[in-house]
Amino acid sequence: MSVLPTIEHLSHELAAGRATAVALAEAALARARDAAGEGARVFTALGAERALAAARASDLLRAAGVVRSPLEGIPVSIKDLFDVAGEVTTAGSTVLRGAAPAARNAPVVERLIAAGAVIVGRTNMTEFAFSGLGLNPHYGTPANPWDRATRRIPGGSSSGAAVSVTDGMAAVAIGSDTGGSVRIPAALCGLAGFKPTQRRVPTEGALPLSTSLDSIGPLAASVRCCALTDAILAGQPPVPPPARALRDARLAVPETVVLDGLEPPVAAAFEAALARLSAAGARIRHIAVPEFAELGRLHARGTLAGAEAWAWHRHLLARRAAEYDPRVGLRLQGGARMSAADYIDLLAARRRWIAQVEARAAGFDALLLPTVPVLAPRIDALQASDEAYFAANALILRNPTLINFLDGCALSLPCHEPGAAPVGLMLAAAGGQDRALLGLGEAVEQALRQRA
């Protein structure tokens, strides 16, 4: 895995005349079309003509002195669940291929276009975003850039999003995160990925999985890339987050649940990251968060994602269940077992749970935990066994989904040694602390890059 260009690097190249938006778009499209690469499994649809037209317009505007944002002329991919006017939103499925094209762009797509981003295509995903692994039997599964000969999962559900960035088919990818679907592929593929507070970025025009939990965020080469893109998605000025010194930052490591079952390379990378942050002056404290252990009991009668996904899919499943990925269809149908009373009870329990966790985290700038407790498993092993598939899915979703239930914000960034298997370090905070968390994340990223 090579060092990836950041938004700022590409912007400087464009400003200096050493690159053009058209050249960047052509290079991204060439990589996507390379028969020897992963492009056929990364994208469900390429928008070459539209991308090149946008790139030509960007170059003309730049020549006239107009630069709309840091994303001006930058190749960006979008997950296949965002509406684009005139295109069918298929969400990684074949079931919706005959649906009517979208009448208008999703707000996040509109904001990207207004910012000058060059959208190169729609990226593959777990069907209807209902898994953290990234497998897709309809369009294939793009292989993780690490140990590609073995073909390991990219993570999901934003699978194609991650590989589009690692393989140079886009500089930034836009995904959705309901239980970790931005942070998991970022962690497993060695990228930065940001899940904002849900209310920060509009979810209209995105095919829903869970209206209570869905959030929209970027995957990219650096925390700064994520911060700039997040600001654009949120309709804010695209400026870097407030700088934050790591010295005396108050960081809490939850000891409950999130450290269970770590594979040795993940445990080693996590401990090394804590040591490096402590050496940089961060004050790290291990704390108990018993509420994390209560999540299984709260979900004994069903989950918000299960119930809300069932509500959206129930009529489609009644007619065309055989066309779904069987593993996705099975999980969707499980939502039918949750009663309205159970759902209302869970909403109330969530409010109490959020208040309790926020009280425990109140004295800290962020929580620190491994994004994913294991390295990326082999694709073929999970394809061959339902038992292995569902066990891996539950384990890989375990840590990230805590922050979705918290209605918080979270950042995953690489913490492994160069050349080693990718491992993600997650920083998380209560809802509404997005910009402060991103500023802290830049300081953490800088400290982790200063190798001994």
On the question of pLDDT at 451 being above 70, the answer is: no
User: Can you say how many angstroms the Cα of residue 90 is from the centroid of all Cα atoms in its chain?
Assistant: 19
221 and 314 share one domain: no
Domain that holds residue 287: 250-449
Structure tokens belonging to residue 229: 């893109």
Q: Quick check: is 195 catalytic? A: no
Q: What is the pLDDT of residue 450?
A: 83
346 and 403 share one domain: yes
Query: Mean pLDDT over residues 94-105, rounded?
Result: 97
146 and 176 share one domain: yes
Q: What are phi and psi of 384, to 5 degrees?
A: -85, -15
Q: Read off the pLDDT band of 452 (50, 70, 90).
A: very low
Q: Cβ of 239: how many Cβ atoms within 10 Å?
A: 12
Q: What is the pLDDT of residues 359-397, one digit of tens each?
A: 999 999 999 999 999 999 999 999 999 999 999 999 999
| Residue where one domain finishes, among candidates 198, 233, 268 | 233
Instruction: Give the CATH number of the domain where residue 437 resides.
Output: 3.90.1300.10
| Residue where one domain finishes, among candidates 233, 261, 284 | 233
Give the span between the Cα atoms of 337 and 270, in whole angstroms.
38
Structure tokens belonging to residue 302: 């069903």
| Number of domains the chain is built from | 2
Q: What are phi and psi of 220, to 5 degrees?
A: -160, -175
Q: What are phi and psi of 414, to 5 degrees?
A: -65, 140
222 and 361 share one domain: no
Q: Is 108 among the domain residues? A: yes
184 and 272 share one domain: no
140 and 191 share one domain: yes
208 and 281 share one domain: no
Q: Is 2 among the domain residues? A: no
Q: What is the pLDDT of residues 158-214, one digit of tens each?
A: 999 999 999 999 999 999 999 999 999 999 999 999 999 999 999 999 999 999 999
- Residue (of 60, 191, 200) closest to 116 by Cα position: 60
Report yes or no: 95 and 130 within 8 Å, Cβ to Cβ: no
Give the span between the Cα atoms of 324 and 198, in whole angstroms.
28
Q: What is the pLDDT of residue 2?
A: 66
On the question of pLDDT at 1 being above 60, the answer is: no
Report yes or no: 112 and 103 within 8 Å, Cβ to Cβ: no
Q: What is the pLDDT of residues 289-302, one digit of tens each?
A: 999 999 999 999 99
Q: Quick check: is 181 catalytic? A: yes
225 and 294 share one domain: no
From the list 69, 93, 181, 215, the catalytic residue is 181
124 and 180 share one domain: yes
| Residue where one domain finishes, among candidates 186, 203, 233 | 233
Structure tokens belonging to residue 452: 């001994």
On the question of pLDDT at 332 being above 80, the answer is: yes
272 and 180 share one domain: no
- Residue (of 150, 158, 145, 155) closest to 43 by Cα position: 158
Q: What is the pLDDT of residue 169?
A: 98
Give the span between the Cα atoms of 273 and 28, in whole angstroms.
33
170 and 281 share one domain: no
65 and 207 share one domain: yes
Query: Mean pLDDT over residues 444-451, rounded?
Result: 90
Q: Quick check: is 131 catalytic? A: no
- 181 preceded by cis ω (within 30°)? no
Please state, rounded to an integer, the average pLDDT across all residues of the chain. 97
Mapping DSSP onto H, E and C, the string for the chain reads CCCCCCHHHHHHHHHCCCCCHHHHHHHHHHHHHCCCCCHHHHEEEECHHHHHHHHHHHHHHHHCCCCCCCCCCCEEEEECCECCCCCCCCCCCCCCCCCCCCCCCCHHHHHHHHCCCEEEEEECCCHHHCCCCCCCCCCCCCCCCCCCCCCECCCCCCHHHHHHHHCCCCCEEEEEECCCCCHHHHHHHCCEEEECCHHHCCCCCECCCCCCCCEEEEEECCHHHHHHHHHHHCCCCCCCCCCCCCCCCEEEEECCCCCCCCCHHHHHHHHHHHHHHHHCCCEEEEECCHHHHCHHHHCCCCCHHHHHHHHHHHHHHHHHHHHCCHHHHHHHHHHHHCCHHHHHHHHHHHHHHHHHHHHHHCCCCEEEEECCCCCCCEHHHHHHCHHHHHHHHHHHHHHHHHHHHCCCEEEEEECCCCCCCCCEEEEEECCCCHHHHHHHHHHHHHHHHCCC
Q: Is 1 among the domain residues? A: no
From the list 131, 157, 159, 412, the catalytic residue is 157
Residue 128 backbone zone (phi > 0: left; psi -120 to 50: alpha; other: beta): left
From the list 79, 93, 159, 164, the catalytic residue is 79
Report yes or no: 260 and 373 within 8 Å, Cβ to Cβ: yes
Give the span between the Cα atoms of 252 and 365, in whole angstroms.
8
